[in-house]
Structure 1
Amino acid sequence: MSGGVGTTVLWRPTGPEELELVSASGWRKWPPRLPDQPIFYPVLNEDYAVRIARDWNVPASGVGYVTRFHVETEFLGRYPVRQVGGDTILELWVPAEELDEFNTHIVGEIEVVHEFR
């Protein structure tokens, strides 16, 4: 992006219903969380996203996708990195009520980089 905005690459393991909503947005934003989903959690590395999509999304819904997207790095500073397992099991926890603002800091489109069945 022009203007010198630094971005960070994030990944998100995604099921078919969520991906359909992302597609409906023009590949520009994540849909609101459901009532039982208080946080939106993008992950910081592709391998972790692949494991979730393949090992959790496929058994749950028959297909799992890994998406990749870029967010303004300066904006992400408000969300501490959460280590939720091993050294590479890293997530950001975005409160559901902040997702609309988070979406405004996505640079470019959300893209599907892997599909598992």
Structure 2
Amino acid sequence: MRRERFDKMNVVPFIDIVLVLLVIVLATATFVENRALKVDLPTASSKKSEEKKNIQIAVNKEGVYSYEKEVLGLDLIKERLMKLDPKKDLISLRMDKSSEFRYFVDIIDILKTKGFENISIITKQ
């Protein structure tokens, strides 16, 4: 039995694989692009504006709390947070990196008690 010399490489199977992969990529790319539907909403006479508040709470390294750039105690912050809607309003926390962890826990405990869903912790890059 004689072996033939390997002079040429058959590239047809490789072309088939590349074409199948190209079809898969193109099919998934079109689904990702068409995910959002464009809808022209009708108008109504009884229009209710939905106000979403973005509340900024900051704590410095000494444990001084600030609610919307106003220095307040923890009890006043809790009182103001209890008046907000936990499903709509966004709470942004800014904590000093050298502040004690208990200040963070105090704010999170208040937010958890009320059931806030939209909480962000602001950091720098």
Q: Which structure has the larger Rg? A: 2
Q: Settle same-fold status: TM greater than 0.5.
A: no
Larger strand proportion, structure 1 or 2? Answer: 1
TM bucket by the smaller chain?
under 0.3
What TM-score do you get using the length of structure 1 for normalisation? 0.27
